[in-house]
Amino acid sequence: MGRTPCCDKQLGLKRGPWTPEEDKVLVDYIQANGHGSWRSLPKLAGLQRCGKSCRLRWANYLRPDIKRGPFTEDEQKSIIQLHGIVGNKWSAIAAQLPGRTDNEIKNFWNTHLKKRLQRMGINPDTCSPSPPTTNSSTSASTTTSSTWRNGRALALKLRLASTSALVTLAPTMNVSMSTYSSEYGTPPWAKRSAEPGRPTMKRRRRALQ
């Protein structure tokens, strides 16, 4: 229904890593004109990229308000707590961490936090102590890819359920509604989506080049 073929399928569009020249073209264009329609942006800016790629590059890397550098202890705690509540809703988590991108948080979770929790004997999916993997589908925090296949539907449900959802989910993480609100402000599911364009940590490899 209404789904268009990915713009990436167009012939002649460049893919892969962005060059500094492309970055500059994109930044200059957006700063001068705003991004407007992402689909038409590449043509207007003179980029051989699809709009989706431009949006991702801007959101994850080029935006000026991106916070670079390692995650602080507080940020890590926040990620763990929020993940226990909303699961793999990276955009919702990112919305609570100014300057961090969903992609960055997702990568950090998968490469650092998940392993750390596992080493501590904590199930990263449920944030509960060393649960025997029972495949219980009743846990709202069960975040395997299959369970969260329709993650956006869940996000919608959370938004609709509003506070009651938090009341249901919070016990998993020992986070009460008042605690959550005071610490993080508006719950992520109360927002339509994450704040667009939270760019990414600079790439270590590139920095070394």
Partner DNA sequence: AAACTTGCCAACCGCCCCTGT
Partner DNA sequence: GACAGGGGCGGTTGGCAAGTT
Number of residues that bind DNA (CB under 7 A): 59
199, 100 in Cβ contact below 8 A? no
186 interacts with DNA by CB under 7 A: no
Question: Which member of 79, 97, 155, 165 binds DNA (CB under 7 A)?
Answer: 155
CB of 206 to DNA, least distance (A): 7
Q: Is 121 helix (H, G, I), strand (E, B) or coil?
A: coil
171, 126 in Cβ contact below 8 A? no
34 contact partners, CB below 8 Å, separation of at least 6? none
Question: Which member of 27, 67, 99, 112 binds DNA (CB under 7 A)?
Answer: 112
**Rounded to whole angstroms, how far apart are CA atoms 71 and 68?**
9
3 interacts with DNA by CB under 7 A: yes
- Residues numbered 125 to 144 that lie near DNA (CB under 7 A) are 143
**Parallel/antiparallel/unpaired status of strands 128-129 and 122-123:** antiparallel
Question: Which member of 148, 163, 183, 190 binds DNA (CB under 7 A)?
Answer: 148
CB of 13 to DNA, least distance (A): 8
